[in-house]
Amino acid sequence: MDYQKVGFLSGLEIHQQLDTGKLFCSCPGYLRTEEPDYLLTRRLHAVAGESGEIDAAVEHEAALKKEFVYQGYRDSTCLVEMDEEPPHMINPLALDEALKLALLMHCEIYPVAQIMRKTVIDGSNTSGFQRTVLLAHDGYIETSFGKVPIATLALEEDSARQVSKTETQTIYKLDRLGIPLIELATSPAMNNPEQVKEAALKIGEILRACKVKRGIGTIRQDLNISIKGHDRVEVKGFQDLALTKKTIDFEIERQQKDLNAGKTLGAVRGPLPDGKTEFQRPMPGKARMYPETDLPLLRIGRDHLNLLKKHLPKLKEAIRDELKKRGLSEELMLLILDGNLDEFEALIQVYSKDANLVAKMITLWRSEFSTKLKKTSQEIESVLTERVLEEVLEAVNSGKITEGDVKSVLLKIAEGAPLTSALQVEKVDHNVLEEEIAAIIREKPGLRPNAYMGLVMAKMKGKIDAKKTMEILQRLTGSL
C-alpha cells in the first residue's frame, strides 16, 4: 500500500479512566455486579440546537424510537447521576491527574477553562449530554517517525455502562457514569500504520505513569482514517493494536470504493474481528457543545502548575535508565516495570546494597515458589507481603541473616513457617565448616570451587554462609 500516494492521514482519540472517584459528585468510581435497587426509563427526543438546526446524528437516533433503562444503587449512585441534582464542583484529584498528563505531553494549558455540555445521542447519559472541559492543547509525543502533535486534552465524565441491547431498548448501569475520563486527541498527522501503532503505545505508557484505572474497559481508543478526497471516518472502540495495519488497509480500500461511487461522507464505524469495519451512525454535527451553566469557570494558576511539575511521575524510559544504573539485568528490569515498580522502590529504600536481590524477591522467587509449592501467585503474594519482605531485609541489614539466607527464609515463610522462626537460621561453626571442606577436597581432588560449593551445600543442607564458604574453598584450592 502506497500511503503517500492515496493521501492517507490518521489520528487517535484515546479515552482513559482516572482512579480518583467520580468527577462531579462524591460517589465511588467502582463497578457493581449486584442486582440494581431501582430503574429509570428515558427516551431520546430530537430538538433543534442553538443554531436552529437538528443534528443529523440526533435525528437518526431519535427516529429509531429506542427506550433507555438505567440501573441504579442507593449506596453508590446519587441524584447527580440521575440528572435530578446539579453537579458538584469538579474533583480536584482528577483535575490534577489530567494536568499532569498534559504537562507530560508538553501541552499548553488554558489558564481559564469553561466546563461544557456535549450532546450525547446513544442514551449513555441520563441528561442527554456529557460534561467535559478542554484543559490543554498543542502538545506532542516523540516517536521514531518524529513528533506526533497532541491537538487537545480534555477531562470529562464517563458514560453509563451498557448491560444489554435490543433493537428497541438499551439497558445501562449508572455505576460508570461520572467516572473521570481523559479524552486525548492527536492531530491527523500520522501517515503510516507503524507510526499510528507506536504513538498509541507511547500514549499508553504516559497514561499508565499517572493515577489511572487498569483493566478491561478502562481505556478506549478511536482511530480516525481518511484519504485524499474522502471525509474522516472514525473507527470507534478500536482496541487491538495488532490489527492496526490491517484495519487501516481495509478502510483505505473501502474509502477508495466510496470515491469511485461518488461518495465522500465520513461516518462512525465499528471494528470487526477480521480488521474490517461496519457502519454505526453518521458523524455527529460540529455544533453540539454548549456551556455548563451550573458550574463556574475553572481557573488554573501558574503557581499550581509549577507545584505539579515538581511531582510529575517518571516515564518508563527514565525508570529503565535508573534500573540499569542499579545493575539490574534486562530480564529483571522488564519484570520490575511490568507492575512491580512501586514495591521495588519501597524495598530498595530498606536495602539498597543489592538491587538484584530485591528484584528477585518480588519477581523470580515468588514465581518459583508458586510453581514449587503448587500455589497461585496470589496465595504466595498474600504470605510474602511487602511488609514481610521489609522485615527480612531489615534482618539482613542488622546481620541477623545474610543475603545468601534470604531465599531459604522466604521459602520457609511461603511454606507456612512464622516469620520469627524462619529468621532463626542455624549456621555451622566456622572451624567445623573448614574441616568439612578440607575433607571433601581430599576425597575428591581436582574439582573447581563451584563444584565443591555444590557438594558442601548438599552436605551442610544450607546451614552455611555462601560467601564465607567460597572464600575458604578458594583459599584451600589455591584458586584465589
Same domain, residue pair 359 and 398: yes
Residue 57 has pLDDT above 60, yes or no: yes
Same domain, residue pair 412 and 442: no
The last residue of one of the domains, among 267, 299, 331, is 299
- Name the residue type at position 80: V
C-alpha to C-alpha distances, 113 to 23, 139, 156, nearest whole angstrom = 16, 17, 13
Residue 72 has pLDDT above 50, yes or no: yes
Q: Which residue has the higher pLDDT, 431 or 235?
A: 235
Same domain, residue pair 249 and 338: no
pLDDT band at 429 (very low <50, low <70, confident <90, very high): low
pLDDT, residue 445, reads 83
Residue 231 CA to residue 263 CA, distance in Å, equals 9
User: Among residues 107, 259, 255, 249, which one has the least CA distance to residue 183?
Assistant: 107
Q: Which domain holds residue 257?
A: 3-299
Calculate the average pLDDT of the chain.
Answer: 89
Contacts of residue 255, Cβ cutoff 8 Å, sequence gap at least 6: 225, 226, 227, 230, 233
The last residue of one of the domains, among 270, 299, 328, is 299
Same domain, residue pair 196 and 163: yes
Same domain, residue pair 128 and 187: yes
For the stretch 450-462, pLDDT in tens is 787 778 767 765 5
Residue 57 CA to residue 130 CA, distance in Å, equals 16
Same domain, residue pair 256 and 347: no
Same domain, residue pair 241 and 322: no
Interior CA angle at 102 toward 177 and 239, to 5°? 55
Do the domain assignments include residue 76?
A: yes
The last residue of one of the domains, among 276, 299, 322, is 299
pLDDT, residue 317, reads 82
**256 three-class SS:** helix
> Is 0.85 surpassed by the pTM of this model?
no
Do the domain assignments include residue 307?
A: no
* Portion of the chain with pLDDT greater than 70, in percent: 91
Residue 373 has pLDDT above 70, yes or no: yes
How does DSSP assign 28-45, residue by residue? ------SPPSEEEEEE--
Residue 112 has pLDDT above 60, yes or no: yes
Do the domain assignments include residue 306?
A: no
Worst-scoring range by mean pLDDT, 102-106, 335-339, 389-393? 335-339
What's the domain count of the chain? Answer: 3
For the stretch 277-323, pLDDT in tens is 999 988 876 667 889 999 999 999 999 999 999 999 888 888 888 89
pLDDT band at 54 (very low <50, low <70, confident <90, very high): low
Worst-scoring range by mean pLDDT, 80-89, 136-145, 402-411? 402-411
Residue 182 Rama label (left phi>0; alpha psi -120 to 50; beta) = beta
Do the domain assignments include residue 305?
A: no
Do the domain assignments include residue 286?
A: yes
Please say whether the beta carbons of 230 and 252 come within 8 A: no
Same domain, residue pair 333 and 403: yes
Same domain, residue pair 243 and 289: yes
Average pLDDT (433-456) is 80
Do the domain assignments include residue 304?
A: no
Same domain, residue pair 94 and 66: yes
Residue 350 has pLDDT above 80, yes or no: yes
Residue 19 CA to residue 28 CA, distance in Å, equals 10
**118 three-class SS:** strand
Same domain, residue pair 198 and 240: yes
The distance of Cα 287 from the centroid of its chain, to the nearest Å, equals 33
Q: Pseudo-torsion of CA 414, 416, 417, 422, nearest 10°? A: 0
Same domain, residue pair 363 and 287: no
Average pLDDT (327-349) is 89
